[in-house]
Copies of this chain bind each other. A is one copy, B any other.
Amino acid sequence: MHATAIENLIEKFEQLPGIGRKSAERIAFHILEHMSSDDARSMAAGIIDAKEKICLCQTCQNLTDTNPCKICSSPKRDNSIICVVESPEDVSAIENTHEFNGLYHVLHGALSPMDGISPDDIKINELLLRLTDGGVKEVIMATNPTVSGTATAVYISKLLAPFDVKVTRIAHGIPIGSDLEYADKITLIKALEGRQIM
């Protein structure tokens, strides 16, 4: 019984990740009831603008509006370390720690034969290309600790064997602030295996 334009708007927002029917309705009504026409226009323009301006960095494959991206072209970053992640969100997460000063490589996915995602579907060749130049001393595999993320890390580490480069994997263990008793079995095993001298 919604007006067509409202229903249409609700359906658009329903397509977004984490937005169900209820949230989509709430957002649509917010735009119609509480947003000025200018703000609504500016939101619409923001979507088109980002979609038009953003492309993949020719080097690290992260989303960027300059090419190469800000990180790849920064003289302050350490060119000898590449951190390999699955998605641009992972780059944001690591950047927010302000503790990593190397470069990134975004795979845009992880190997998953079940979903038909093979090595050619993610940016593995682009990573190998970056190593042929030399200068890279360490590649940190920071793919997710899931089945496909781990498989991807193992697959890439084998490909990197011919190169003179150290391949490392981010540590798995009990998250800081959480409780041992709530940790799942595999995380606990990893935490024990990865124990370090204090």
Tell me if A17 and B27 are in contact (CB < 8 A). Answer: yes
Q: Identify A32's interface contact among B3, B44, B63, CB under 8 A.
A: B63
> When each residue 89-110 of chain A gets 1 if its CB lies under 8 Å from chain B and 0 otherwise, what string results?
1001001000000000000100
Whether A47 pairs with B50 at a CB distance below 8 angstroms is no
With an 8 A cutoff between CB atoms, is A190 at the interface?
A: no
Select which of B15, B39, B70 is within 8 A of A3 by beta carbon: B70
| Interface contact A51-B63, CB-CB below 8 Å | no
**Contacts A18-B26, A27-B17, A40-B47 given; does A33 touch B3 at CB 8 Å:** no
What is the interface size of chain A, counting residues whose CB is below 8 A from a CB of the partner? Answer: 56
B contact residues around A80 at 8 Å (CB): none
- Chain B residue at minimal CB-CB distance from A63: B32
Contact A46 B3, CB 8 Å, known A27-B17, A51-B40, A88-B29: no
Q: Contact flags (1/0) for A20-31 with B, using CB distance below 8 Å?
A: 000101111111
Check if B49 sits within 8 Å of A8, measured CB to CB: yes
A64 proximity list for chain B (CB < 8 A): 3
Interface centre among A6, A29, A42 (most CB of B within 10 A): A6
Interchain CB contact under 8 A, B12 and A63: no
Q: In the complex the two chains form, what is the Cα distance from A43 to B95 in whole Å? A: 30
A contact residues vs B (CB 8 Å cutoff):
1-6, 8-9, 12-13, 15-19, 23, 25-33, 35, 37, 39-54, 63-66, 69-71, 87-89, 92, 95, 108
